Structure 1
Amino acid sequence: MDAATAPQRRATRPRADALRNRERIVAAAREMFVEHGPDVPLDEVARRAGVGNATVYRHFADRAELVRQVVLSVTDCVTVHAERGIAAADADESAAFEALRTFVHAAADERIGALCPMLSSGFDPDHPDLLDGRERLERAIEGLMGRARAAGQLRTDIDVGDLMIALSQLGRPLPGTACPNMDRFVHRHLQLFLDGLMTPARSELPGEAATLEDLRQR
């Protein structure tokens, strides 16, 4: 290694470390937002991420920025799963509902419950950083559900909002309770929910389907 190369390698190492720390902070915040909500102390986020408080504030100016980054991260990951489901349904129409089922379980593993701050009054879902990601996610889920519905496998009296509500509720611990073993039941309960979405429907649902507009209402 010559003298010119050594400084360059030393210069890139902190950037790689900083990127890893940022990813660890976002991952820790995602888990804690699901477990405790977006108001969890940032000191606790730092502790779970294995970094100091100063490191958190070096990457994120305030709580709002961290919450926004968590939402962006989850949105992007869940969208990828939905788009894979669309590709699978397009390749085999008879597997459209199975593609939807695979997506739902994958979305739960991505901790989609961390998107719940989008429904709170203190969160701006129309922030420029979020608009494109949100629209892409909604378009992908609507497309995936539409394919399952067109294949005659998904009941017609539900909407995207119904799916998102169930995913958020079933993928989170019950409010006000300590449920350290909740994760081992998530996929079991999601499977029960998904069975209820299949046709032929066993019952008539009360009320109206939950739309994305319903979820955005404050």
Structure 2
Amino acid sequence: MQTAPPVPRRVTRPRADALRNRERIVTAAREMFVEFGPEVPFDEIARRAGVGNATVYRNFPDRDALAREVVCWVMDRTAEDAERALAESGDAFEALSHFVHAAADERISALCPMAASAFDEHHPDLEAARERVERLIVELMDRARAAGQLRPDIGVGDLMIAVAQLSRPPAGTGCVSLDRFVHRHLQLFLDGLRAPARSELPGTAATMEDLRQS
């Protein structure tokens, strides 16, 4: 007896409007996490995103899932900033500087506490986003160092600590009102990274592993 050929399985893809809703939710959540902290009510996020509560919960069943998505989204945008900087021709240190200023505009300082919150820091999506960012930042720094423009005693952890600390105060502490100072202070920091160094730094260079263990 001849068996019937298998029926091809239909691959369902999210509808365009569903993707737009998800993006609106993540964008609204990122804005509100920066303004008020990660405990902002889902109802408020839904209202700002212009969607119903059910749409938020359909995309993100709990706060951890939404916080992880926001952190991954910001890291992906930061990685894209690094890729654009690497694509720039000419001065390697200027490319690094452009990345630092762009990364600050992603408000990574206000979102950093969420990366150490209750959600699984070893989630595959989070690890992939983190590894991509770290690889690109190392490439930017190596290029500037090879050009003799970046002092040799600076590690990638040093750079990210400074960007996080100088870019924004913690979420919910009036960080938006202090935006006008951010790039001024970052430029002072960048001037201190240039080679040749005017002084010797105490201690050892910070790595990203140091940051994860702290």
Same fold (TM over 0.5): yes
CA contact 1:30–1:70 (8 Å) conserved in 2: yes
Counterpart position of 2:138: 142
Check 1:163–1:40 CA distance in 2 against 1; reply closer, same or farther (3 A cut): farther
Counterpart position of 1:67: 67
Task: State the Cα deviation string for residues 7-36 of structure 1 (Å, max 9, x = none).
Answer: xxxxx9x93332222111111222233334
Counterpart position of 1:215: 211
Question: Does structure 1 residue 111 correspond to structure 2 residue 128?
Answer: no
**Identical-residue share of aligned pairs (%):** 71
Distance 2:65 2:78 in 1: 20
Query: Which aligned segments of 4 or more residues in structure 1 are displaced greater than 4 angstroms?
Result: none
Check 1:174–1:64 CA distance in 2 against 1; reply closer, same or farther (3 A cut): closer
Gaps of 5+ in 2: 1-12
Distance 2:135 2:97 in 1: 17
CA contact 1:113–1:169 (8 Å) conserved in 2: yes
Task: State the Cα deviation string for residues 155-205 of structure 1 (Å, max 9, x = none).
Answer: 111111111112222222356733442222222221111111112223322
Question: Does structure 1 residue 85 correspond to structure 2 residue 81?
Answer: no
Task: State the Cα deviation string for residues 27-85 of structure 1 (Å, max 9, x = none).
Answer: 12222333343333323322332333222112111111111111221111111221222
- More moved, 76-85 vs 47-56: 47-56
Check 1:158–1:208 CA distance in 2 against 1; reply closer, same or farther (3 A cut): same
Residue correspondence of structure 1 range 6-17 to structure 2 within 5 A:
15-17=15-17
TM-score by length of 2: 0.83
Counterpart of 2:177 in 1: which secondary structure? coil
Question: Does structure 1 residue 193 correspond to structure 2 residue 189?
Answer: yes
Counterpart position of 1:26: 26
Question: Does structure 1 residue 152 correspond to structure 2 residue 116?
Answer: no
What is the letter of the counterpart of residue 159 of structure 1? G
Distance 1:186 1:208 in 2: 26
- More moved, 172-181 vs 19-28: 172-181
CA contact 2:149–2:194 (8 Å) conserved in 1: yes
TM-score by length of 1: 0.82
Let me know the Cα RMSD of the aligned residues. Answer: 2.3
Distance 2:84 2:145 in 1: 17
CA contact 2:33–2:171 (8 Å) conserved in 1: no
Q: Give the one of 167, 171, 177 matched to 2:173.
A: 177
